[in-house]
Amino acid sequence: MKNKKKKTFKKVLLVFCLLISSTFLVFGIGFTILYNKYDLDVDSLTKMNNGIKVYSASMSETTLYNTDRSIIEIETLPTYVKKAFVDVEDKRFYKHNGFDLKRILKAGAVNLLTNSKSQGASTISQQLVKNALLTNEKTYARKIKEIILAMKMEKKFSKDDILEMYLNTIYFGSNAYGIENASKVYFNKSAKDLTLNEVCVLAGIIKSPYTYSPITNYENSVNRKNLVAKQLFKAKDINAQEYNAVINSGIEIVNFNEFDHAYEEEAIYEACKLLNISERDLINKKYQIITFKDDDLQQQVISCNAKVLDGDKNLDSLSVVVNNCGQVVAYYANSNYNLHNLKRQSASLLKPLAVYLPNVANNILTPATQILDEKIDYNGFAPTNADNKFHGYVSTRDAIKNSYNIPAVKALEFAGLNAAKEYLNKLGIFIDKSDLNLSLALGSTKNGIPLMKMLNAYSILANMGEDNGVTFVNKILDEKGSIVYEYSPYSERVLNEDDCYLINNMLKDAAISGTARRLNSLNLPVCSKTGTASVGGKTTDLYNVAYTNEHTVFCWIANIKNKFLPDNFYSSAQATEINKQILANLYKNRQPKDFACPSSVAKMPYDLIEYEQNHKIIAPTVNLDRYIAYDYFKLSNPPAVNTNSSKFNLTAEITNDGANISFLALPNKEYNLYKLINGKKELVNCYKNKLGHIDYFDNNIFNFNEICYVLSDNEKEEQIKIRPKDYIVNKLNNQIKTSKKKWYV
């Protein structure tokens, strides 16, 4: 029995060994075939100064931005540079032959358990091959090719050669390729002069450039830097004193701003999205990008910012000029932070978009409609105006141009929060559910709003409801000069022309006599809105957006690092001044046309007396210019018609002493009041140039059964009758409640 079991075990073992041997044989044959199939492209590997060429609209070589890498030899770098990158990226770099089987098996197990491809286990050699020769595609076939090419590379080059190529190729974020460029971008120095703390920062970035960049995510970068130092210490490549010095240090960014490349960085970002490729692929394929940048205007924008902000390096600012096709003709970002998707509190800049636009669109408010500016309290939310005053009844036009807070909150309540959300969505602005409260009227949002989204929203108003988007890239050419992408104009109508015209017309007043009145001296048909965000009475953000029917100009100023702006930045004066200077340069030799009034809007008269006394917008009842006001109205929402316009509102009230006759008088009118008794008509009074309610008291009434009063203005007349003796009888009957006797006349 034992011999039988022993023979069975030997057979199973033999089959298992044959299977294993066959597997390895098949794998070996397949690997050998692939090994011979894939050739190492030495030229592409060693030619590491490929770059993206980014041209302005002029295609001038003098304004060419090229992302060519600066190459540095590994022998010139401090020893802790090599150690930091090896310890954090590939501890066994000097021991393996291009791939680390132990790491691959571990990563494979994790991927199988999680049913993903999240773990790559790439060595430095593999990363170099992928960066220089392959794509970012996450497939097993690409991984095998990567391993084979890494093995071939290890046979061709020394470890230090590979590490040198790696350090000169790797992406460090902020359009910095290679350690030399990264050193200049982040610390304004050559890589050979980097401190240990700075090396730990750079070694920490490459795992995820956006997540661990000190520019985009400072706290993450500090934590990652300290982790790199910990790895160095564990590997005994630095001592305890050096380790403690690193973890007790922050990160001092000295951004390399000798030249402004913010426009080009945005163009590269957009080109990657348009072609659906990575920046590395964009570089390796030697693409050329032609933008819409106007060289002269770009320099003027930079100059205007420098002049107004006086070169204050502690401030962050963004200036953008977009034409009416959505093409960015100038873009200047003065900041150590990535402003592309930066979200900030937009303050009063949101009022026309979230508050007044839905009110106008839904025919709730017109520019002339009055809103009572008074003390309000909505369950503890009690906003005040910037000047801490209440202004009584103010028109929508005045509320917008002066950016009053209380009327804006009331107007948001009129329109409804869902309507506000709907119109923000139309403009490409999406807010959190928690933002749907009345503080939205003041621009308060949970996560803030991207700056470029605010710019695009106002460019839609400038284009009378057409959304053309915002674009930097005109063309993308490949290495041979063939066009792989070309801009094609596209627009989508998201708002009605008449609604945009009314909002624009009111924002023109803001540029004439409102919060942006600094622009008035330009004598241009320009609309504008300002915004000032603050926390605890201290200013955090300043805005101005100004637009004509040709361009939209956007300016934002803040101090991200220190949170608050200096005390002299308490309003939007600086942002408005920057835009003023840009507009002055933009229209130095010409003037843009005014916004064309659509056929669905007209300038209409309304009754000034009714407006001032009863705060109603009624069509005029008298043809006298001094008692008529004018404003723009949609034909679908004109001033109401007074159904009582042919009447004098004549009334009569009997008292114990007589009768009080009352009517409503208009100025420059002559009124005659007659008393008619038994067919006899008698003039009792004449009124000239009177305004408002007129009272006439007649104490001679109780001798008559019936009296008729007639009021005439020579165009029409109105009459009212009273029965004085009926009044006496009714009064006596009420007094004698217990008597059954009735009094009769």
DSSP state letter for 171: B
Q: What is the rounded average pLDDT of the residues 685-697?
A: 86
For residue 580, how many other CB atoms are within 10 A of its CB? 26
Note the residue count of the chain: 745
CATH code, 651-735 = 2.60.40.10
Number of Cβ atoms within 10 Å of the Cβ of 227? 17
Lowest mean pLDDT among 57-61, 204-208, 521-525: 57-61
Which residue's entry shows tokens 């999680």?
A: 114
Can you name the residues that pair with 685 across neighbouring β-strands? Answer: 673
Residue 336 has phi, psi (to 5 degrees) of: -85, 0
How far, in whole angstroms, is CA 380 from its chain's centroid? 29
Per residue in 417-466, pLDDT tens?
999 999 999 999 999 999 999 999 999 999 999 999 999 999 999 999 99
Average pLDDT over residues 606-634: 86
Of 448, 555, 188, nearest to 336 (Cα)?
A: 188
Q: For residues 50 and 247, which has the higher predicted lDDT (pLDDT)? A: 247
pLDDT of residue 258: 42
Highest mean pLDDT of the ranges 93-102, 249-258, 293-302 = 293-302
Structure-model confidence comparison of residues 537 and 584, the more confident one: 584
pLDDT, mean of residues 28-37: 58
Phi-psi sector, 692: left (phi>0), alpha (psi -120 to 50), beta: left
How many other C-beta atoms are found inside a 10 Å radius of the C-beta of residue 597?
15
- Provide DSSP, 143-164: HHHHHHHHHHHHHHS-HHHHHH
Instruction: Write down the pTM of the prediction.
Output: 0.73
**Arithmetic mean of pLDDT, 622-640:** 88
Higher per-residue confidence, 459 vs 624: 459
Q: How far is CA 497 from the centre of its chain?
A: 22
Please tell me the CATH code under which domain 259-346+448-594 is placed: 3.40.710.10
The superfamily CATH assigns to domain 69-247 is Biosynthetic peptidoglycan transglycosylase-like (1.10.3810.10)
pLDDT tens digits, 289-302: 999 999 999 999 99
Q: Which residue has the tokens 């020394």?
A: 158
Sequence-distant (6+) residues with CB within 8 A of 457 are 353, 427, 428, 429
Q: What is the Cβ-side half-sphere exposure of residue 295, based on CA atoms within 13 angstroms?
A: 13
